[in-house]
């Protein structure tokens, strides 16, 4: 601990792009890969491929935005895969019974309730560590996933088989507001709202303070319990929004379809530069992280890298990012 | 001046300088240490004491100058090499492996040369016996008290046949008894011809058992003198660079009616604690570590669970379930453990200061950040916090300035009852005095203070009334103007 470096006087919040890139070399690496791909693979620079990239980012971004607050507060939410699956099947099966609008509202409510259940369990466990939040939400992920499977008896539900109007889903999938697609607009709205919460509000400050030092923040009157409820509620709700976008896009709901998003959301947040230890991060970084991750997947696909190898690449990136962060922290602490 | 110790000096440091970006940590520092001498080094935080030690141990490299140990010029070294040369450093935070036994720690990484498992324990036993320590060599280090851990460190230093042992703030977590034990060992080591460099904030200790003292300030050696030639006040003025007539300001006048009445607080540790606090009063709480003094103020503040708590403020029964309730009622707590319970180390000074009044700076959920900036600037100025700006990360400030920032956090909310748990721990003399003045200012403006401190003189000089706590009970009340320190300590040591 004491060995590393000189005391740095007057170090303030990192602001310059140079510092930022030095602290986030993974950005440079992925952008490098994109440049290489665009040279060796002509299909990369086609409009349809860009469309692909935006579509893939469209689902992930909601889950990752919610995950950002959870991680910034020093916790984890592994349940979002289960929540996405559950919300997807509930929403689709409800359409014929209550109509598309109410079905979506029910879906979002289910997501919100799942988030509240998570926070309730974490608060009642009392000790409030990241590890506990990890195990509790992992357990709940299994529960939500199982409920989804039981609810539809494991069967895939097709949106297109609906006998009533599904125009909202169609609009989310292919509609446009001016030059931008509907779900892009949704993602922008969600990002802006969360960014305002993060930068300007008491709620947002409470999130980073909780992640920075829970004990000190609590002793100074920061409402830790309320913050925990809020971050999991947001995470559940945004996962539900992601589920609705996903359903619109693939026009079906499968009780296991949410599974890959948990890993990807955490990966996107961490690649973006938010510290897994909490106290430092931004939803804006996460947006960048989502695009980097999607670009990475896209490049690997175009270069013909098998999906097995892609899993390995994710794992390696996760480890590198965490390793770099540890090194950075050691440097700052001196 | 000290007589020239000539070529026989064990360690000689000549014109050593070290610069960090923006700071000249050491500026042509020279000093000589001879065998069999206890050499004290004092200086405020940031004076360069730690940098000098880290250069000696090989953690840092010096920019210029010369270090000679036993007549050999040492240019570059590493912590392991300096150990092998016979130069041992015992750091404040101690460097032991908690999950290994005492014996294994003494001979860490040298099991084979110590003769395997049996040899390790036998040899460690001998070394520990030689310093009068009875701790078992088979015990896990994690189970030891700080004092026993220090004994293990000293035994480890002796196992290297050290000629010079540097002790960095060794007394900061010791009780008086444990300190006496350490002093005895220091005398024994001295008799064996081993040189000791003793770094401390506590001038009593320098006066008590050091032979020679070097005062550092802002990276310069101010002077090296025989301790007997220097008075305490002279030493302080050399450290802070100005004359301090008094270590403590005059005791504030006590005043007013009862503001806080604790009818009872019961927890697993505390038994029917009762006490009262008057307006404009400083109430000192004296007790050993573990007596329940910290538990008492934490329970009052709603930080920990209680089994029973009846508290009146202004004669009205109040319910304090958590710190938020406490703050609403005008209570403020500066906790004992600055790093873990007080500071948000990775955050700017500004956000550390605004913390307790953040609700006030918020309208419709939005924080008024320009107001936040002016709150922080006001406190930085009022408390003379040395920081380049409010946006600087608080991690980079010295302990004294960090503590002042935490005080600023609470002063901004104008607390009616300010609880200070070890407010001057690890803080240099100058900053201490500023904190005393602040305390005085707070009570003069009608606030009240509960002061917990392990430094008895501090409690005695600052308080209007002193309660002793022992084994979870308040067992005595004293008027510090007339009661003697011995009387109070005796009561604090008395178990029911």
pLDDT band (50, 70, 90) for residue A201 = very high
CA distance B394 to chain A (A): 9
Q: Within a domain: residue A326? A: yes
Q: Within a domain: residue A308? A: yes
Among the partner residues A7, A10, A333, nearest to B20 by beta-carbon distance: A7
Q: Within a domain: residue A242? A: yes
What H or E segment, with its residue span, contains residue A316? helix A307-333
Q: Within a domain: residue A1? A: no
Count of structural domains, chain A = 1
Token reading at A91: 């929403």
Determine the residue among A19, A204, A216 to mutate to test chain B binding: the one whose Cβ has the most chain B Cβ atoms within 10 Å.
Answer: A216
* Chain A residue numbers touching B393 (CB-CB < 8 A): 11-13, 332
Among the partner residues A201, A220, A280, nearest to B355 by beta-carbon distance: A220
Q: Within a domain: residue A315? A: yes
pLDDT above 70 for A175? yes
pLDDT at B79: 78
pLDDT band (50, 70, 90) for residue A35 = confident
Asked if B398 reaches chain A (Cβ–Cβ under 8 Å), the answer is no
* Chain B residue numbers touching A209 (CB-CB < 8 A): 344, 347, 351, 355
pTM of the full predicted structure? 0.73
pLDDT at A331: 64
pLDDT at A10: 36
CA distance B140 to chain A (A): 23
pLDDT band (50, 70, 90) for residue A290 = very high
pLDDT above 60 for B4? no
Inter-chain residue contact A7 with B23, CB threshold 8 Å: yes
Q: Within a domain: residue A49? A: yes
Burial class of A24 by CB neighbour count within 10 A (0 to 12, 13 to 18, 19+): buried
Inter-chain residue contact B344 with A6, CB threshold 8 Å: no
pLDDT above 90 for B249? no
Distance separating alpha carbons of residues B396 and A57, to the nearest angstrom: 39
Can you give the CATH number for the domain in which A154 is found? 1.10.3470
pLDDT band (50, 70, 90) for residue A200 = very high
Inter-chain residue contact B54 with A2, CB threshold 8 Å: yes
CA distance B9 to chain A (A): 28
Q: Identify the residue whose tokens are 């973006």.
A: A272
What is the span of the domain harbouring residue A83?
6-333
Q: What is the pLDDT of residues B427-467, one digit of tens each?
A: 777 788 889 989 988 888 889 999 998 888 888 889 999 99
pLDDT at B204: 81
Q: What is the pLDDT of residues B213-238, one digit of tens each?
A: 999 887 889 889 998 888 887 887 78
Asked if B92 reaches chain A (Cβ–Cβ under 8 Å), the answer is no
Q: What is the pLDDT of residues B289-303, one digit of tens each?
A: 778 899 999 999 999
CA distance B23 to chain A (A): 8
Asked if B347 reaches chain A (Cβ–Cβ under 8 Å), the answer is yes
Token reading at A170: 């169609």
Distance separating alpha carbons of residues A58 and A100, to the nearest angstrom: 21
What H or E segment, with its residue span, contains residue B295? helix B293-301
Higher pLDDT, A198 or B233: A198
Q: Within a domain: residue A270? A: yes
* Chain A residue numbers touching B21 (CB-CB < 8 A): 6, 8-9
Inter-chain residue contact A3 with B59, CB threshold 8 Å: yes
CA distance A219 to chain B (A): 6
Distance separating alpha carbons of residues A290 and B144, to the nearest angstrom: 49
Q: Within a domain: residue A15? A: yes
Least confident span in A179-193, A228-242, B10-24, B281-295: B10-24
Distance separating alpha carbons of residues B162 and B12, to the nearest angstrom: 16
ipTM (interface pTM): 0.83
Beta-bridge mates of residue B87: B164
Q: What is the bridge-based pairing of β-strands B308-313 and B316-318?
A: antiparallel
Least confident span in A41-45, B202-206, B249-253: B249-253
Among the partner residues A2, A201, A333, nearest to B367 by beta-carbon distance: A201
pLDDT at B246: 64
pLDDT above 60 for A253? yes
pLDDT at A81: 95
């Amino acid at each position: 601990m004491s060995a590393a470096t000189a005391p740095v006087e007057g170090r303030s919040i990192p602001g310059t792009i140079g510092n930022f890139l030095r602290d986030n070399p993974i950005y440079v690496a992925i952008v490098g890969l994109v440049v290489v791909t665009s040279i060796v693979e002509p299909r990369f620079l086609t409009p349809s491929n860009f469309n692909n990239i935006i579509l893939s980012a469209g689902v992930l971004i909601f889950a990752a935005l919610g995950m950002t607050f959870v991680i910034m507060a020093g916790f984890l939410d592994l349940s979002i895969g289960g929540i996405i699956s559950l919300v997807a099947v509930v929403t689709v099966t409800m359409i014929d019974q209550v109509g598309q609008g109410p079905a979506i509202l029910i879906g979002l409510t289910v997501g919100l309730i799942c988030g509240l259940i998570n926070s309730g369990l974490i608060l009642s466990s009392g000790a409030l560590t990241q590890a506990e939040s990890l195990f509790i939400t992992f357990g709940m992920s299994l529960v939500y996933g199982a409920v989804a499977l039981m609810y539809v008896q494991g069967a895939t539900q097709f949106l297109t088989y609906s006998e009533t109007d599904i125009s909202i889903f169609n609009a989310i999938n292919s509609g446009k507001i001016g030059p931008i697609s509907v779900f892009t607009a949704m993602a922008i709205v969600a990002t802006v709202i969360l960014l305002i919460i993060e930068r300007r509000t008491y709620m947002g400050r409470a999130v980073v303070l909780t992640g920075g030092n829970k004990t000190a923040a609590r002793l100074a009157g920061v409402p830790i319990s309320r913050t925990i409820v809020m971050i999991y509620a947001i995470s559940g709700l945004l996962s539900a929004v992601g589920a609705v976008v996903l359903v619109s896009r693939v026009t079906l709901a499968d009780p296991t379809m949410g599974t890959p998003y948990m890993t990807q959301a955490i990966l996107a947040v961490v690649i973006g530069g938010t510290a897994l230890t909490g106290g430092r991060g931004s939803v804006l970084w996460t947006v960048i992280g989502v695009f980097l991750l999607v670009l990475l997947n896209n490049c690997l696909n175009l270069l013909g890298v098998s999906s097995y190898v892609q899993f390995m690449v994710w794992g390696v990136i996760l480890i590198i990012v965490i390793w770099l962060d540890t090194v950075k922290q050691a440097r700052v602490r001196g | 001046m000290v007589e020239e110790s000539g070529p026989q000096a064990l360690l000689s440091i000549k014109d050593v300088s070290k610069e960090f970006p923006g700071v000249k940590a050491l500026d042509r520092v020279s000093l000589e240490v001879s065998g069999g001498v206890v050499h004290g080094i004092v200086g405020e935080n940031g004076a360069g004491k730690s940098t000098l030690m880290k250069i000696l141990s090989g953690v840092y490299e010096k920019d210029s100058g010369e270090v000679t140990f036993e007549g050999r010029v040492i240019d570059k070294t590493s912590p392991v090499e300096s150990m092998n040369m016979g130069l041992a450093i015992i750091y404040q935070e101690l460097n032991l492996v908690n999950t290994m036994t005492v014996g294994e720690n003494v001979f860490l990484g040298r099991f084979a040369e110590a003769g395997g498992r049996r040899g390790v324990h036998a040899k460690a036993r001998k070394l520990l016996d030689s310093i009068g320590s009875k701790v078992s060599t088979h015990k896990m280090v994690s189970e030891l008290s700080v004092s026993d851990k220090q004994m293990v460190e000293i035994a480890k230093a002796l196992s290297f046949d050290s000629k010079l042992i540097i002790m960095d703030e060794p007394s900061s977590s010791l009780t008086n008894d444990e300190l006496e034990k350490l002093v005895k060992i220091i005398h024994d080591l001295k008799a064996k011809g081993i040189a000791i460099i003793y770094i401390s904030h506590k001038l009593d200790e320098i006066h008590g058992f050091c032979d020679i003292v070097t005062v550092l300030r802002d990276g310069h050696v101010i002077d090296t003198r025989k301790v007997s030639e220097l008075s305490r006040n002279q030493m302080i003025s050399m450290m802070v660079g100005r004359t301090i007539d008094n270590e403590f300001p005059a005791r504030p006048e006590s005043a007013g009616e009862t503001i806080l009445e604790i009818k009872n607080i019961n927890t697993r540790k505390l038994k029917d604690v009762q006490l009262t606090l008057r307006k404009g009063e400083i109430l000192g709480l004296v007790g050993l570590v573990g007596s329940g003094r910290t538990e008492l103020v934490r329970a009052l503040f709603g930080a920990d669970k209680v089994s029973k708590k009846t508290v009146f403020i202004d004669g009205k029964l109040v319910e304090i379930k958590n710190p938020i309730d406490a703050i609403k009622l005008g209570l403020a707590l500066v906790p004992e453990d600055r790093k873990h319970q007080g500071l948000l180390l990775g955050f700017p000074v500004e956000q550390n200061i605004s913390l307790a009044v953040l609700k006030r700076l918020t309208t419709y959920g939005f924080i008024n950040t320009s107001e936040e900036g002016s709150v922080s600037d006001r406190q930085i100025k009022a408390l003379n916090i040395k920081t380049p700006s409010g946006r600087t990360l608080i991690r980079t400030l010295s302990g004294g300035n960090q503590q002042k920032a935490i005080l600023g956090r609470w002063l901004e909310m104008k607390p009616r009852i300010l609880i200070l748990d070890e407010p001057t721990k690890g803080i240099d003399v100058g900053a201490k005095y500023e904190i005393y003045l602040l305390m005085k200012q707070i009570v003069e403006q009608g606030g009240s203070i509960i002061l917990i401190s392990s430094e008895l003189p501090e409690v005695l000089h600052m308080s209007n009334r002193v309660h002793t706590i022992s084994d979870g009970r308040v067992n005595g009340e004293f008027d510090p103007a007339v009661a003697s320190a011995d009387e109070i300590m005796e009561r604090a040591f008395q178990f029911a």
